[in-house]
Each structure stands twice: as C-alpha cells, then as structure tokens.
Amino acid sequence: MTMQVEKLDATFGARVTGVALGSISDTDFDQIYDLWLEHALLVFPAQHLMKDEQKAFANRFGELEFELSPIGNVKKDGSLRANDESDSVVQILKGNEGWHYDSTYVEVQALATVFTAHHVPSKGGQTGWADMRAGYTALDADLKTKIEGLSAYHSLYHSQRKIGHDPKTGSGYGFDDQEPPLRPLVKIHPETGVPALLIGRHAYDITGLAEKESEKLLRELTDFVCQAPRLYLHSWTVGDAILWDNRCLMHRAYPWDFSEAREMWLARIAGNPETESGSRVSA
C-alpha cells in the first residue's frame, strides 16, 4: 500500500490512508511521526484495530499514561449506562464535553492520544479539536503582551465542580491528594518550537489576576480559538482511529442519546517529565 495524505479543511489535521496501523513498518511509522508533528491530528479511517494493536501502535510513541481504557456508556457486561447524573462516570463524560487538554491537572501533561471507535450512535457523539497554535498566532498584539508570562492552575476537581460534580479524593484518575500544577498560558512545543495557548476547562486562577478577571480571560480565549478555521469536528465511523498531539490541540466530546451505544477506546501516551511537568506551587 502507498500512504496517501489529504489535509483537512482546517488550520491543522490530515486524513491518512494506505497504511495499516496494526502491522506498521518502521519506515511508515517514521513518516507518520513526521506527519503528526506537522499536522498535530491524523485521521486513519477503517483501521478496525484490535486492542493489543492499538496499544502497540501507541507504545511506539512512548509509555502509556495508564492501561488502554474504554470511554462511553457501554458497561463491561455490554449493557448501556443510564444517563444518570448521580453516576460519577456519567459526570466525567459530561465534563469531557468542555474544551480541554488531557492530564494538565496531574504533574506531567500527556504527550498524545490514540482514540478508536468500536460502537457509535446514529447521531451525536462527535469529537471536536481546536488548534491552539493557530489560535495563539491569531491573537492581537496587545492580548499577546497581556498573557505573556502568565500562568494558571489546572485541576480536575475544579473543572468537575463547575458542572456540579463533587468528586471524592481517590475516586478516580486525577482525583488524588495533590496540589494543582501551575502551567503557562503559552506553551512552547518541545519538538517544533511553535507556541500554543495552554488553557481549557481545567485551567483557573491565573496568577496576578482577580478570580473574575481570570475566569473572563480564560473564557474569552477559549471562545476565540475554538471556531473555524481552527476547528475540526469528526463524526465517527466504526473502525476509525485518530492520533493527536496533546501539546498543541484541545478537544471535546459532543453529547448523544444514551439509549444508543458509544464505545471508544483510549490509549493515552505519557508526556516527557522534562518538558511536560507543571510547577508544584500551592494555590
């Protein structure tokens, strides 16, 4: 097969065909790695990866942050989870509908994610991505000057409480007894050198700003960036696999009818502690 690359209708992203991720050669992987750095998001249709194949492909980028995990409303026994707001899993799914980076709320921000579709609803359930590099570039000079050198805390407790979920310590990933990491509003990509906004729903309490001013600035930045042409919305087909760079793209899920199955599998690749660690400063 010959690899074919088609740019998406956005400031980032490409659709890649003519490659089988489950049995990828070293040469093809090297090409994919370069494409990933260039485009930040790669869509691979009709891959139908087995779970061990997905994990093996993700492991080429580095160690996984945690074991391959399901995302959606399908329980282990195959039954469907009710759309019950008292269910902590449902609360996490609802939270994921806000724009965010993965794992900014733990010590080391994730490097990347490989996401696959196993069951998809007839409508809804899309995933959106936003280009935070192009977003930063599009800011006016005064706003760039304003945010230069500013940082914000990141917390999954904070973002979940904003939607009415009060998680218990130890109840899941990200809900441990740790101080929230402090991260700059502008992140320099360690491999490309390109700056990108580092914000999202987990970010709060910008240093040096009052609470309301901080919240307003974060909201305005998100609203500005997360629109065309910096936006890509993917309607899933069973078998799709998508790889994205968690150092320069935000993403979000879109709601669907819980009477239909949505089963996705996530392989999240751990970041490099030398470049993805946040400062541990008590809020």
Q: Name the residue ranges covered by the structural domains of the chain.
A: 4-280
pTM to 2 decimals?
0.95
Catalogue the long-range contacts made by 49-56 (C-beta closer than 8 Å, 24 or more residues apart). 49/21, 49/22, 49/116, 49/241, 50/22, 51/265, 53/21, 53/22, 53/23, 54/21, 54/114, 54/116, 54/241, 54/265, 54/267, 55/267, 56/22
Report how far residue 178's alpha carbon sits from residue 282's, in angstroms, rounded to the nearest whole number. 9
CB atoms near residue 170 (< 10 Å): 8
Low-confidence ranges of the chain (pLDDT < 50): 281-283
Class of domain 4-280: alpha beta
What pLDDT does 35 receive?
A: 98
Report how far residue 230's alpha carbon sits from residue 165's, in angstroms, rounded to the nearest whole number. 30
What pLDDT does 85 receive?
A: 86
The pLDDT tens digits for 133-156 are: 999 999 999 999 999 999 999 999
What pLDDT does 283 receive?
A: 35
What pLDDT does 166 receive?
A: 86
CA nearest neighbour of 13 among 251, 265, 184, 208? 251
Report how far residue 10's alpha carbon sits from residue 229's, in angstroms, rounded to the nearest whole number. 5
